[in-house]
Structure 1
């Protein structure tokens, strides 16, 4: 892991109060959104998350999972997981987005709403 990635992870942990790895999947549907993390398997969904959550993905864009590691008052921290390593970190505020790319495609994560302890996120996958 490069120093910049390690520094970003440590900074995120300090700012957002990350206490460890994501816990059991825990999400609630937003109005008109998907009902659970299983609906995100193809990388296209909208979820209301209220705590750390692991979202399994089918790998069509190179990502095999996405973890919401923390929800703070100003930002949400995400980890994308890929087969064979190359995990990535993104920290996104309200109305912001982050895109994780690989040779297989890209996974975009957008924060639609952000409240203390809850966020509505949108995942969208595009082939490479």
Structure 2
């Protein structure tokens, strides 16, 4: 069977690219090095996709004291249902955050401020919800979250609830 010149050139090019790719992905070792090169794993390889965030820290800034949130700025770990009252945005008085369920990789909560209500819930490693509480309404966004403290927003209280693998959820309340 005879192959045309372009087909042979294409096959030779593909073979060369395969060899280069295989060599580029392998481990290299300095011949003067006495220790073997470490085996690469998928974690060692660079990636462009976003990896899942780490679970909440076991020692958040304000610990586990829900009383630290009464000023509208805190970072606490919760392991059971809790109710937190803090200043609402605008002239709405006080807002209430009620964590209704906490478990391994799970959190559910409700926020009330004046006549506004918002529910949030997430399950799975690194999952959570952001609630933006404003004087004329609120909104939620749930999914994979970075457990780091969210940025303050003008005219809004930001509530972030992130799940933890050990049944500890991390709450952030950030007021402007």
- Give me the TM-score of the superposition, normalised by structure 1: 0.60
SS in 1 for 2:67: helix
SS in 1 for 2:116: coil
Aligned to 2:54: none
Structure 1 residue 125 displacement after superposition: 2.1
Aligned to 2:131: 99
Unaligned runs of 5+ in 1: 1-29
SS in 1 for 2:100: strand
Unaligned runs of 5+ in 2: 1-57, 137-154
Aligned to 1:110: 160
User: Structure 1 residues 106, 48: CA separation in 2 closer, same or farther (over 3 Å shift)?
Assistant: same
Structure 1 residue 95 displacement after superposition: 4.7
**C-alpha contact (below 8 Å) 1:80/1:100 kept by paired residues:** no
Q: Distance in 1 between matches of 2:107 and 2:163?
A: 10
Q: Does 2:136 correspond to 1:86?
A: no
1:31-70 matches, cutoff 5 A: 31-35=59-63, 36-60=65-89, 62=92, 64-70=95-101
Aligned to 1:74: 105
SS in 1 for 2:121: strand
User: Structure 1 residues 38, 82: CA separation in 2 closer, same or farther (over 3 Å shift)?
Assistant: same
Q: Deviations over 1:70-113 (max 9, x none)?
A: 01333311110112x22110113435331233237323222345
- Give me the TM-score of the superposition, normalised by structure 2: 0.46
Q: Does 2:174 correspond to 1:124?
A: yes
More strand by share: 1
Structure 1 stretches (4+) deviating beyond 3 angstroms?
60-63
- How many matched pairs? 97
